[in-house]
Amino acid sequence: MVYSEKVLDHFQHPRNVGEIPDADGVGMVGNAKCGDIMQMFIKVNDDEIIEDVKFKTFGCGAAIATSSMATELIKGKSIDEALQLSNEAVVEALEGLPPVKIHCSVLAEEAVKAAVEDYHKKKAEKQAEAEK
């Protein structure tokens, strides 16, 4: 079997699928080569802890499994910890991926980073608004 049990489990039963309508940060990334797209939504509390996270992935099975695992790994973590999440950590948590599928885990890392960046951007905008 090319895929680990963990990958198959997260592909068949992805965790945290969906969107958060009033998300504090939304990241959308894509891979131009395969055309897969991943969207990540985060809800962050005042202590900068990720209280909720959801994802939508239009992509291959490994993209679904890696985004599912990425949400599990950052839920309940601080946004700084989420930024540290590497694609290697996602692959490790999934007990490996075939080499041709490593780029799918990179997409998951990028989606998390994009969501955190969007959170920072939105927060800065809110602060600027409040100071007016």
Binding site for ligand FES (CB under 6 A): 31, 34, 36, 59-60, 62-63, 101, 103-104, 107
Nearer to ligand FES, 33 or 132 (CB): 33
The interaxial angle of helices 102-130 and 61-74, nearest 10 deg, is 50
Residue 58's Cα: distance from chain center in Å?
Answer: 13
The dihedral built from the CA positions of residue 54, 28, 61 and 109, taken in this order, carries a sign that is negative
* Shortest spacing between CB 40 and ligand FES, in angstroms: 14
- Min dist CB 106 to ligand FES, Å, is 8
Which among 13, 18, 19, 34 is annotated as catalytic?
34
Q: How many CB atoms lie within 10 A of CB 73?
A: 18
Catalytic residue among 7, 42, 63, 104: 104
Phi-psi bin for 94: left (phi > 0), alpha (psi -120 to 50), beta?
Answer: alpha
Q: Cβ of residue 64: shortest distance to ligand FES, in angstroms?
A: 9
Q: Are 89 and 83 in contact (CB under 8 A)?
A: no
Nearer to ligand FES, 44 or 94 (CB): 94
60 assigned to active site = no
Residue placing its CB nearer to ligand FES in the complex, 14 or 59: 59
Active site residues: 34, 104
